[in-house]
Structure 1
């Protein structure tokens, strides 16, 4: 028997426009019809927006559920379920869970912890515990001596669809100047000048030894497995050129307008944090996402550390930047991220695509998520 659901009197946000008073018919988890005019049957949206389910490529939020305090490890399944519920309630129906590979002087996670977390996510999916669909995004700290060792735990995992190549060493990318690095490491740790100088020297030395060979090796492995590669915190034209050589399709958090423009022109999707949009700037003092949007080189938003920012930021962009329409802003969290990682079955409201949908009431300030459906089944 066919399972059919009808949504009517909705403001349907299509990829290239808005359909007021529209009707969407779902059959067996797939969008079957999109049309004008109200239907006499189905759920009346009362003019609320109907948008595609959000596609989240980069969120570190799972870490805060698993390790809510320094040295504390929470029950993995409980952490996964709490995280998944918050993700779905924010309108996110497809999420790439960031797992950090490679330890550094901050400690990080031991080998096996992220593998166990990935196994927990897979088990939660098999047992029907999850609301969103989950894939894996491996955040690889290339300046770490053991990043390749950690990566071997994921060599054959089909859920790995995205890998980012990161180097958070002093003088590199996000920390090209020492002001923010000093705040992050010296001030917060209470290091003396001598201790901080030794810390910086050690970090620079390990980066010089490992960063380039690890970056090259991981890019090669991803090319062989068909995994999307992301660069991270590119700051210069040289960084962008290196990313092109590694087949990068996603430029995460470029720290300069120059790098963002070059990445966009090279065909990479430029990703910035939705919290950056909401706050009006970068917490680490780098370029504002809204500035990239005004220059037409912002392609994708990620919630990074605040899941709800992914639904909030597109509405804010459309309200505050005249050159960006609501469909264009919402494409940054739906169609474009889906295409970037090869998920062509979602991210748009069109017949034949997955019925991953979100009902949103656009209040005067913060939007309200009124309902979330994944493959036609309500999950929030």
Structure 2
């Protein structure tokens, strides 16, 4: 079952119900449908403020959050579209800094759904069309657009060189293999090269494409370079065109540098060494574009104020955290092996053991999180992912126990000083935030 969101506003819920009826015809690839839909809406994607377009397997959402915070620190008004939403569909569309209102959301979804009724658009195509339509009608200085899946055939890839300020590719890993590794003539066959090829599909002629360069395996770098040559984009790679290093232990801050430029930055507000890399990727994208001036002060302030829910988020006091007394609860929506590695690294300076509450969709690798954490898992409790098919406890080995929901899982934990990590799915993370009264804003 797919979760298209729920709303207390009946007008919004009526449109979400319509979204829930949409499906993608089997085997359909390409940008024809989204292009036709946008044409009926007056091509709003051609009338946007300068756009920062971000792809990647992991870290693209955090990179978008850094971009937004840094641009807003400069005083710019910023539109943002990211996915998925955690609690409310409104989270997918941010207009000039604020989540879209229920009234505006109901109107724009109805307009898009009515316009494309005979085109059979997908849920994501409608979402992106609605976002671009709302963006085009609301004054702002910049847009930050997160790729949904892949890049080459993603609905966001209708963006043209005229509106793009810079494109970026965050960390790469294997995910959505059924779609991104589907057999096709004329594309790379090695899995990581194919993933990179799909992500690099956002490259556009004359537009900077900023990548993590030497953070990728060589086959990925080579595939990206091939796409850049054929597209005419401008490639800027970490490790050759720009550099990111931690000061001392990593808690003291970062140094971002280019051949004739160096900038010391405070440590990111988001925990984990990987967030330093994501922050530097955002800095490199802002530094390489020419449409919007950005100061060092804005870059520094933005990195300190960035927030991104459900990415190694420490839960605040609330109904859920009250169930475990003084124990700290961390929340992360990570669900693939790359995310599992990042979570393990982010917790490296925490106590050696933790209680893991895990819920994973049944199409995900059940060892994605447990593998990287290894023997640091003190107890393992498996919960269902609300409204989705998920792995049962037996998929995680003999030491895993089942709970009917997150509340039961937390109540069943021993009372000790070890932290709790809830992970495995962004859908589960959204439910946790809702239950703890921490709605993303």
TM-score by length of 1: 0.30
TM-score by length of 2: 0.27
Whose strand fraction is larger, Structure 1's or Structure 2's? 1
